[in-house]
Amino acid sequence: MKTDALMMVTISLILLCFTGSALAEDFTYRLSANTDALDSEFTGSFDVSDSRLTTGISGVYDTDDYKILFLSALVGNEILIDGLTGGLGFKGAWGEAEKRNYDGDVLNLGFTFYAGYDLSKNELNNYPVTLSAGFTFSPEPLSFNDTKEFIEILAECSWKVVDQAAVVLNYRYIEIDFKNRNKWQKNDSTGYLGLKFFF
């Protein structure tokens, strides 16, 4: 029953991503890496009424530690001051993780929260820099297979060197609780350097 419900939600997210991409007004593609991991993301955004809907697909590969694919849908708005945006939505994760002799399947749907600040929209400091952060939490009722609970924290600083590209520093913290075999936990905290393209 749980798996069927998750599959329906996942299929809905996939359809939303592809529908959103077809109608999107703005696209971004980011590719980041460090000595052990590769992190990539593709998003499409478009206006819906007074808000902005952003759909995306991303993936992270960390040698033999974990391989996770993410699908997300987020509704955001400018809040309080020029350049500051906030958003709420859903983010699903599917993949696998390993830790010494343990391994487990990752499958969950989480609530995601986002905030970003574009310094180029500040009249006092017109810098082509954007700071952003995101938080995703999937409690036990929305976690399936081996996964008991899932937390992800993202932070990013991008500096637009030209109109269509930016240099990116990003950070990801992942914490996954598993319930298979002996209960165990996978934690990882990683920084990346990469490029982001706008088109």
Q: Provide the percentage of residues in the chain whose pLDDT is more than 70.
A: 86
Domain count, the chain: 1
Supply the CATH number for residue 25's domain: 2.40.128
Per-residue model confidence (pLDDT) at position 78: 86
Q: Provide the percentage of residues in the chain whose pLDDT is more than 90.
A: 60
Cα 40–111–137 angle (5° rounding)?
Answer: 80
Mean pLDDT, the chain, integer: 86
Q: pLDDT tens-digit profile of 34-56? A: 999 999 999 999 888 888 899 99
**Residue 23 pLDDT greater than 70, yes or no:** no
d(CA 172, CA 65): 14
Print the SS3 string covering 24-82: CCEEEEEEEECCCEEEEEEEEEEEECCEEEEEEEEEEEECCCEEEEEEEEEEEEECCCC
Per-residue model confidence (pLDDT) at position 84: 92
Per-residue model confidence (pLDDT) at position 4: 47
Domain containing 97 equals 2-198
d(CA 110, CA 135): 10
Q: Please state the pTM of the whole predicted model.
A: 0.85
Worst-scoring range by mean pLDDT, 14-23, 77-86, 97-106, 121-130? 14-23
Per-residue model confidence (pLDDT) at position 5: 47
- Strand 165-178 versus strand 102-118 pairing type: unpaired
Q: pLDDT tens-digit profile of 68-115? A: 999 999 999 988 788 899 999 999 999 999 888 888 899 999 999 999
**Residue 126 pLDDT greater than 80, yes or no:** no
Could you tell me where the DSSP H helices lie in the chain? Answer: 2-23
Cα→Cα distances 28→32, 43, 139, 184, Å: 13, 5, 29, 36
Count of beta carbons in the 10 Å neighbourhood of residue 95? 18
**Residue 1 pLDDT greater than 60, yes or no:** no
